[in-house]
Amino acid sequence: MTKYFFDSYALVEYFKGNPEMAELIENNEGVLTLLNVLEVAYIISRDFKPELGRKVIKQLNDLLVIPTSKDVEETVMFRLQSRKLDLSYADALGYTYAKRRNILFLTGDGAFEGMQNVEFVGKSKAGQ
């Protein structure tokens, strides 16, 4: 069993029924921050209905981790160094959190494709 940081992109794909994400998320351990819960619940509420967004919040609650001030400090530096990628705070924090703890960052967000410590599931930039 692998331990992942579940990126918002991965979770949205999971809740939308992506079988590849379902396989990884259901058969492995994962963590995420409150920022990811916020992003995912908003997207699911917007794209489907608010009741589903509330269910998502409850479902993800047990996976929450609290980043440290060191995580925040490193996230600021990572985001500054990666300005061209236009990463959200949630994405940058999740990636930094995962990297510092040597767990894989699970995503399908093309901005992370090819980065160290990332398990990328999705269309390759080269294939687009």
Give tens-digit pLDDT for 59-111: 999 999 999 999 999 999 999 999 999 999 999 999 999 999 999 999 999 99
Residue closest to 94 by CA, chosen among 127, 60, 64, 123: 64
Rounded distance between C-alpha atoms, residue 103 and residue 54, angstroms: 28
| Domains of the chain (ranges, CATH numbers) | 3-121 (3.40.50.1010)
Left (φ > 0), alpha (ψ -120 to 50) or beta: where does 102 sit? left
Between 30 and 126, the more confident residue is 30
pLDDT beyond 60 at 125? no
Residue closest to 31 by CA, chosen among 67, 65, 1: 65
> Residue 106 has which token pair?
């699970």
Give tens-digit pLDDT for 29-39: 999 999 999 99
pLDDT beyond 80 at 51? yes
